């Protein structure tokens, strides 16, 4: 398989060239990614959706992560990142439907894997059922939802676990209900500062939405 090529940047987000995805993670080049968190507002509560990464994934298999996310290729703009939503979740979303949350530098460093990301982070208000998801099973094994207040408290250090419910596909391709408690150890190890920034901005979004 031909290695994907992405634009690379210095730590001040100035473009410095193009590199393969393998080189980016081996040498720690800064590169752009698209991230979209699905949320839901219901009467009296808010929800956040998480994807369960496939066991076939090379990195962080079987862990919970951002609802949909991926690298921006060398010929793509941030607007093009919505293709990740369609590819991974089977849900069609236009860029105009997204709420820009923030742009931040975020890193994951483990042994010889260095993921220095310029993360373009968005929210999408999802109002369909779990049945509307059609997952790219090589990438995503399942989707769950969690109460946002619990999710916020988890990452702000106010509680140690949260309850999630949804569905997942086993190795036979059979769909099963997923209903369990998870802790920080069950998530892709983004920096704590990443999760804290995201949940603070989500909380601000929900507060503003209530006043609209």
Contact 49, 124 (CB under 8 A): no
Domain ranges of the chain: 5-211
pLDDT by residue for the chain (212 residues), tens only, comes to: 456 899 999 989 999 999 999 999 999 999 999 999 999 998 889 999 999 999 999 889 999 999 999 999 999 999 999 999 999 999 999 999 999 999 999 999 988 899 999 999 999 999 999 999 999 999 999 999 999 999 999 999 999 999 999 999 998 999 999 999 999 999 999 999 999 999 999 999 999 987 76
Three-state helix/strand/coil letters over 136-200: CCCCEEEEEEEEHHHHHHHHCCCCCCEEEEEEEECCCCCEEEEEEEECHHHECCCCHHHHHHHHH
Exposure class string for 95-131: b at 16+ Cβ within 10 A, else e: eeebeebeebbbebeeeeeebbbbbbbbbbebeeeee
DSSP 39: E
Report d(CA 111, CA 108) in Å as an integer: 10
Residues 6 or more apart in contact with residue 46 via CB below 8 angstroms:
39, 40, 147, 148, 149, 206
Report d(CA 201, CA 193) in Å as an integer: 12
Write down the pLDDT at residue 1.
42
Q: Which fold has domain 5-211?
A: Nucleoside Triphosphate Pyrophosphohydrolase (3.90.79)
Instruction: Tell me how far CA of residue 111 lies from CA of 27, 103, 108, 121, in angstroms.
Output: 12, 26, 10, 26
Contact 124, 38 (CB under 8 A): yes
Q: Given phi > 0 = left and psi -120 to 50 = alpha, else beta, which region is 17?
A: left
User: pTM value?
Assistant: 0.95
Instruction: Tell me how far CA of residue 147 lies from CA of 7, 56, 169, 197, in angstroms.
Output: 36, 28, 22, 18
Residue carrying the six token digits 């099963």: 176
């Amino acid at each position: 398989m031909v290695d994907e090529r992405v634009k690379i940047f210095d730590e001040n987000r100035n473009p410095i060239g193009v590199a393969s995805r393998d080189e980016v993670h081996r040498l720690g080049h800064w590169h752009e990614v698209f991230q979209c968190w699905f949320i839901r507002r219901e009467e009296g509560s808010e929800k956040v959706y998480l994807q369960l990464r496939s066991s076939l994934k090379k990195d962080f298999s079987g862990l919970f992560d951002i609802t949909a996310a991926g690298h921006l290729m060398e010929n793509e703009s941030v607007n093009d990142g919505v293709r990740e939503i369609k590819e991974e979740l089977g849900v069609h979303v236009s860029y105009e439907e997204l709420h820009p949350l923030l742009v931040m530098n975020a890193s994951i460093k483990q042994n010889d894997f260095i993921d220095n990301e310029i993360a373009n982070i968005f929210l999408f208000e999802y109002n369909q059922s779990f049945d509307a998801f059609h997952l790219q099973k090589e990438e995503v094994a399942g989707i769950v939802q969690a109460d946002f207040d619990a999710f916020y408290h988890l990452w702000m250090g106010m509680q140690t676990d949260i309850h999630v419910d949804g569905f997942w596909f086993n190795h036979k391709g059979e769909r099963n209900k997923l209903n369990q408690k998870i802790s920080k150890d069950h998530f892709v190890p983004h920096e704590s500062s990443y999760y804290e920034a995201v949940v603070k901005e989500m909380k601000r979004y929900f507060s503003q939405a209530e006043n609209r």
